[in-house]
Amino acid sequence: MAERTYIMVKPDGVDRGLVGEVIKRFENKGFQLLALELQKPSREHLEKHYSDLSAKPFFAGLINYMTSGPVVRNLLMITYDNAIQLRKKQTPLEVAMVWQGKGVVKAGRVLLGETNPLASLPGTIRGDFAIDVGRNICHGSDSVESAEKEIALWFPNGVLSHKRVTDSLIYE
């Protein structure tokens, strides 16, 4: 199977309107978009996504950041005494994507930049748009194995694969 990676725009990137910037860079490079969905993951889902980091001192802060999106939703609630209440709730929104192409896992990490945005060169996504490590706007799988695990976690119903007309212009 062709190499695939899991790329995600985190809540800060979604709120700041940087989804298009992330997509543009992967498209410009020649990678192929296989799946894209605006998701509202639960805390448990994100703890699973970052389970390798659960022992790290920044884990709690990381999960709070990933679950406390700056998006405010108005909820109409009917309470037990039939009163209607308007509640506001923070809703984390992440844009989950699958990209395919030759060497896309490693090249995707290059497009993203270093984990710490201040150490990322201009021209990378984090280098151009972020400063703090805890607000680095995007995620990219770090190996082919974790990419497949993450794709299965975020797209449990699977991902369609299709042959592009333009492949012959991008690959020799």
Q: Which residues bind ligand DAT (CB under 6 A)?
A: 53, 58, 62, 115, 133-134, 136, 139, 142
Nearest residue (CB) to Mg ion, 47 versus 142: 142
Annotated binding-site residue? 16: no
Annotated binding-site residue? 31: no
Annotated binding-site residue? 115: yes
139 catalytic per annotation: yes
Least distance between Mg ion and beta carbon 142 (Å): 5
Q: Rounded to 5 degrees, what are φ and ψ at 9?
A: -90, 125
How many DSSP H helices and E strands does the chain contain? 8, 6
DSSP code at position 54: T
Q: What mask, x for binding Mg ion by CB under 5 A, covers residues 133 to 152? A: ---------x----------
Q: How far is CA 40 from CA 14, 89, 94, 109, in A?
A: 12, 12, 6, 24
Question: CB neighbours (10 Å) of residue 69?
Answer: 20
Q: Would you please indicate which residues are annotated as catalytic (active-site) residues?
A: 139
Judged by the rule CB under 5 A, the positions of this chain that interact with Mg ion are 142
Binding-site residue ranges: 10, 58, 109, 115, 126, 136
